[in-house]
Structure 1
């Protein structure tokens, strides 16, 4: 089985399991580089990498940038290693020095794949019917419930909940939803009905910070009148929530969810290689020197040798 076929199978498995990942593909190189155009790897949320996009000079940067993109919900971008520019961002290109003594330049296309956010629709109304039809077009995974028990569906920080029961059991559902880690909880109702519902929730013992999470009436104020227009205003608000990265950071009180934990644990402590300017993961660093009681980390033995030959020169440069 070819490596490409194996990576495609892994990507399919991760998508089916609802796990985030990044496909990194080398699209251009200037020799000498160990990876050539077409080289590809998959990086998961915990930093695990499958495939090949370069050795010790390239891989740590690619993994770190992949984890960052997943954490921030980033769009596809181009990563350039070896460009003779200072570390920074220029439009859609993130440029970093190539630390290998042999030189070379790599351009790597970073393509994040994030699970569809789950949209739970509660109730049986024309607005819910319209949302059920329109939401999948905007890449929301829809779950429709006609009862008050939210325990039957998994809810995490990527979940959005819209309640539209026409007063039949709004309060019962909202009591559960507002205590969940859902990123968004909205209710289709008039302002008067929403105020009455908040009073009930307050008397039921919910805290003010929980009640404050309720968006009611749900949706952006666009003057919507018909069920389809109201559904459109709600979807516009949900897209706004998604684009503000609230889903990735957690919108509820209980944000210690498994997905967020795996992302956070992948952000390792790093140090700057004073010779080439590359960021080195301290936990996995193989090349270390001690100078004036301070540990200095390097990406490769060549950088270590250059530093130890004249440490003051490189320490001064790195502090500028």
Structure 2
């Protein structure tokens, strides 16, 4: 732990570098505690407290556990660390979640209570677009304001003007070292279909789509399997891309694709409104 490092300065640097971390903030204390409300710490994925202070061993174990879970699912948490007798009064057990609060036991003699808000700060999700088609360019234009780190990979000679992607790659070999969730779209529309599909198959992502008809995708599947590429791998790429919203123009098709990606990106993050479901 390096308390001398400025937490806000380090946060700024890590966010600029798009490196994942957790910001843990003490929001309430009762009785004797080492850290007080307002104390902050930055926790890295390997469990290091790189800057700041949230107290000693009484708080650290529960906070680090919550930090690991937050980085895994992208959800913030409120951890309430209390002595065992207070947990018994509330009728909760250590490790139990109730009303959005995760309860943990304070084993220290101080018998204080600390509530710590654990917030994951993750890199922007990555959108990798392979191709120079009008749909590909519309995807780049629409995705950046939605908070995606956009990589566009295609022969640069195919563009009349350079699109404003976060990363622009000449050819179909994008850098996929970006540490984030990744969504891959092939939108070549006849310009390098096979090469782009091969590159897409090599990218580890939770979403692979091809902008084209099922018939065209089936034809490309035959060509690629004839080249020795496993059919199971090719079948990870689904076609056509996007939700069926009746899209016609490149901008509308890009919108339908981003809507489909949003469904995947936000899956499990919203609590259904029961009143609307009735």
Establish whether TM, by shorter chain, passes 0.5: yes
Does the 8 Å contact 2:186/2:200 carry over to 1? no
1:220 alignment partner, one of 243, 249, 256: 243
**Secondary structure of 1:78's aligned partner:** strand
Spell out, residue by residue over 1:149-191, the C-alpha distance to the aligned partner (whole angstroms, 9 max, x if none). Answer: 3335235673322111111211111112112323322111012
Change (3 A) 1:111 1:184: same
Change (3 A) 1:67 1:95: same
**Secondary structure of 2:32's aligned partner:** coil
Spell out, residue by residue over 1:117-147, the C-alpha distance to the aligned partner (whole angstroms, 9 max, x if none). Answer: 2212222223222211221222111122222
Q: Could you state the TM-score of these two structures normalised by the residue count of structure 2?
A: 0.80
Q: Could you state the TM-score of these two structures normalised by the residue count of structure 1?
A: 0.70
Change (3 A) 1:26 1:221: same
Q: Are 1:139 and 2:162 counterparts?
A: no
* Rounded Cα–Cα distance in structure 1 between residues aligned with 2:174 and 2:214: 30
* Rounded Cα–Cα distance in structure 2 between residues aligned with 1:111 and 1:187: 35
* Rounded Cα–Cα distance in structure 2 between residues aligned with 1:65 and 1:26: 13
Spell out, residue by residue over 1:30-53, the C-alpha distance to the aligned partner (whole angstroms, 9 max, x if none). Answer: 111111001110000110002211
* Rounded Cα–Cα distance in structure 1 between residues aligned with 2:267 and 2:234: 21
Match of 2:55 in 1: 54
**Secondary structure of 1:214's aligned partner:** coil
2:192 alignment partner, one of 158, 169, 177: 169
* Rounded Cα–Cα distance in structure 2 between residues aligned with 1:152 and 1:231: 20
Q: Are 1:105 and 2:113 counterparts?
A: yes
Match of 2:175 in 1: 153
Match of 1:195 in 2: 218
* Rounded Cα–Cα distance in structure 2 between residues aligned with 1:102 and 1:77: 24
Change (3 A) 1:46 1:150: farther
CA drift at 1:233: 1.7
1:185 alignment partner, one of 190, 193, 208: 208
- Matches for 1:268-287 after TM superposition, within 5 Å: none
**Secondary structure of 1:151's aligned partner:** coil
Does the 8 Å contact 1:120/1:162 carry over to 2? yes
Does the 8 Å contact 2:6/2:52 carry over to 1? no
In structure 2, the gaps of 5 or more residues are 156-169, 269-278
Spell out, residue by residue over 1:76-108, the C-alpha distance to the aligned partner (whole angstroms, 9 max, x if none). Answer: 221111162223122322122222232111111
CA drift at 1:4: 8.6
Spell out, residue by residue over 1:230-270, the C-alpha distance to the aligned partner (whole angstroms, 9 max, x if none). Answer: 2122112222333348xxxxxxxxxxxxxxxxxxxxxxxxx
CA RMSD of aligned residues (A): 2.2
* Rounded Cα–Cα distance in structure 1 between residues aligned with 2:109 and 2:4: 30
Match of 1:290 in 2: none
* Rounded Cα–Cα distance in structure 1 between residues aligned with 2:259 and 2:60: 38
**Secondary structure of 2:43's aligned partner:** strand
**Secondary structure of 2:58's aligned partner:** coil
**Secondary structure of 2:233's aligned partner:** helix
Match of 2:230 in 1: 207
**Secondary structure of 2:188's aligned partner:** coil
Higher mean alpha-carbon deviation, 173-182 vs 220-229, is at 220-229
